């Protein structure tokens, strides 16, 4: 694997280009430092509260334009929080996104950037922004996501509620029949949920799920 240029896996799922080790370690460390500076700057990162009063599970900072978690619309200032203007996107962030998009075959000039911070309880995967304009969707404008951290798990779409329940039992050492009995579903249905979950988690067998859980306990 070439850590300088990255490795391209063509479309692991339809419409997705995945570049592993796209940035060498020093560049990752520099990017993390930039994000940390922004997160603790004059317009800091915060945890948005969405409609219904539920806080999100991630820390967020929008650059370029702000996404209002109460109106689900874009605006120049953070009217749902502190009225501060959305900070501009750093030129280095724009260049990184454009370079990654170019390797996937796109010409890209980003105008919105989200800096998210995930802790061990955060739950949010890559998903379509429902507030994206029809013009943007029809034009096929790409989304570039950069994940930093040795334990980052890149999930597209995320697990369904049932898949998450099944994986939870696997991590606790339950056999398929035991999982089926606990959830009142057939063993064949358990296997179907496992196949789908393994694909999304990027694992191939049960032992990898259990090992991952053990590592989280040791490092958490």
H or E element, residue 59? strand 59-63
Is pTM, for the whole model, over 0.75?
no
> What's the confidence (pLDDT) of residue 180?
95
- CA atoms of 72 and 130, how far apart (whole Å): 9
Q: Which CATH architecture has domain 161-219?
A: Orthogonal Bundle (1.10)
Residue extents of the structural domains in the chain: 7-139, 161-219
> What's the confidence (pLDDT) of residue 150?
67
**For residues 180-189, average pLDDT:** 94
Name the β-bridge partners of 7: 20
Give the pLDDT band of residue 119 (cuts 50, 70, 90): confident
Tokens representing residue 74 in the block: 């874009």
Asked whether the CA dihedral 88, 91, 94, 96 is positive or negative, the reply is negative
Supply the mean pLDDT for the chain.
82
57 within 8 A of 121, measured Cβ to Cβ: yes
- CA atoms of 28 and 149, how far apart (whole Å): 9
Domain spanning 7-139: CATH superfamily: Alpha-ketoglutarate-dependent dioxygenase AlkB-like (2.60.120.590)
Asked whether the CA dihedral 67, 71, 74, 76 is positive or negative, the reply is negative
Collapsing DSSP to helix, strand or coil, 77 comes out as: strand
Question: pLDDT at residue 10 above 50?
Answer: no
> What's the confidence (pLDDT) of residue 121?
75
Q: What pLDDT, in 10s, does the model give residues 66-103?
A: 999 999 889 999 999 999 999 999 999 999 999 999 99
Average the pLDDT over each of 8-12, 20-24, 55-59 and give the range with the smallest value.
8-12
């Amino acid at each position: 694997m070439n850590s300088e240029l990255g490795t391209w896996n063509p479309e692991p799922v339809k419409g997705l280009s995945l570049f592993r080790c796209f940035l060498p370690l020093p560049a990752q460390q520099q990017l993390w430092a930039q994000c940390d500076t922004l997160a603790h700057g004059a317009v800091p990162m915060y945890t948005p509260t969405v409609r219904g009063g539920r806080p999100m599970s991630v820390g967020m900072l929008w650059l370029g334009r702000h996404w209002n978690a109460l109106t689900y619309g874009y605006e120049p200032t953070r009217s749902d929080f502190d009225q501060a203007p959305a900070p501009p996107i750093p030129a280095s962030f724009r260049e990184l996104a454009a370079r990654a998009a170019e390797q996937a075959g796109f010409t890209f000039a980003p105008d919105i950037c989200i800096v998210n911070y995930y802790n061990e309880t955060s739950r949010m995967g890559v998903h379509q922004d429902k507030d994206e304009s029809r013009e943007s969707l029809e034009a096929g404008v790409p989304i570039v996501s950069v994940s930093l951290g040795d334990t980052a798990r890149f999930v597209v779409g995320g697990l369904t509620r049932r898949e998450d329940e099944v994986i939870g039992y696997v991590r606790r050492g339950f056999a398929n029949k035991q999982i089926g009995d606990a959830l009142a579903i057939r063993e064949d249905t358990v296997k179907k949920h496992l196949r789908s979950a393994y694909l999304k988690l990027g694992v191939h067998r049960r032992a990898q799920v259990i090992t991952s859980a053990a590592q989280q306990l040791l490092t958490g």
